[in-house]
Amino acid sequence: MIHKEEYTMSTNMLFLGMNRLSTSLALVMKNGNNVHRIGFDPDVSNTRAALEAGALDQIIETLSEGAKTANVILYALPAGKMVEVFDSIRQDLKPGCYIVDLNPIGQDTFNQVSRVLPDPTRFIAWSAALNPKYMADVEFGPGSAQEDLFHNSHVYIAGDTDAHPEALKLGSDLAALAGAKPLNTEPEELAGILALAVDLPLLISAVTTRLVTSEPGWNEARKLAGFNFNNISALLDSTENQTMPESRIHINRKNIQRLLSLIIEHLSDIYTSLDEDNPKELGQVIHNAALARQIWQKQRTSMSWLEQNQVRKEPLPTMGERLFGKRPK
């Protein structure tokens, strides 16, 4: 268990990879007197941009340099490189270091990473939704970072069954500091959620875009393509971490395959309605889908699905309060 006195000196937070998520989180911590923000990215221009934006206090050139002094590591490099990265710095990790992954990952990735970490109980996933006003943004570099990127949203925090309590608490405190609602879950459940909300839409976008652009008629159709094609294909540009998304999807393939089988069923139903000359049924499918989207947009903006606590007890000091001091509500 971490005691308060351990945070009387500066806490080194190492950001591995400077993208929109990690840089925004670093910006949130800029007023933390006890936090020293260190950044590393293979693309030096990303760390320089984060430094110029005031998101970092220091840039390092090697992973081992930062691992030796980091109390907390926030991982924002590609999920497919995670095992390789931590295996390379395994011997350099500071004892007691907490590792927070900012990528969307599930149970299988947890298992792989656990095998290369000296203390896997201090490893958690931090899967964040975005402030609704930024959901349509396709920029994902450090230049698009915002301090309020996580406001009016929530963060799924997942750890294995034997996860260190302070690791989970760290995840919750980071969410609260970022202005988001923390939601605890398990890696297996998180994998199913991510397959439905993140991975499947990306695959549908890829398949549709590839199909349309490979058809012989695309030579003429591309001249008429506009809003509909642009929006469904835009997902390919808006992936938060564009490097190696296929690795993450492959790891989560069991959930993806289950969803793909359901899509095949739905497409078969639509094919049948067309074959039976039943435009009313097809219209109902489109109408119901549009209505479901409208309901989701309203709920997502208002966060209306979250229950408000009727009674609030005075909480114990959080890790965030130890790092930053208690902030006014």
In this predicted structure, the answer to whether residue 156 has a pLDDT above a threshold of 60 is yes
In this predicted structure, the answer to whether residue 207 has a pLDDT above a threshold of 90 is yes
**Mean pLDDT for the chain overall:** 85
Please state which architecture CATH assigns to domain 11-329: 3-Layer(aba) Sandwich (3.40)
Domain ranges of the chain: 11-329
* Digit-coded pLDDT (tens) for 231-262: 999 888 865 545 567 777 887 888 999 999 99
Q: In terms of Cα–Cα distance, which of 79, 81, 117, 80 is closest to 98?
A: 117
Average pLDDT of span 25-33? 85
Handedness of CA 206, 143, 197, 75 (dihedral sign): positive
Confidence class for position 213, pLDDT limits 50, 70, 90: very high
In this predicted structure, the answer to whether residue 3 has a pLDDT above a threshold of 50 is no
Q: What is the pLDDT of residue 244?
A: 64
Average pLDDT of span 307-312? 39
Q: What is the pLDDT of residue 55?
A: 95
Lowest-confidence pick of 12-26, 195-209, 241-255: 241-255
User: 62-88 in b/e burial notation, b at 16+ Cβ within 10 A?
Assistant: ebeebbbbbbbbbbbbbbbbbbebbee
Residue 267 CB coordination number (10 Å): 10
Contact predicate 248/101, CB 8 Å = no
* Digit-coded pLDDT (tens) for 67-96: 999 999 999 998 888 999 999 999 999 999
Enumerate the β-bridge partners of residue 308. Answer: none
Higher pLDDT among residues 46 and 7, named by residue: 46
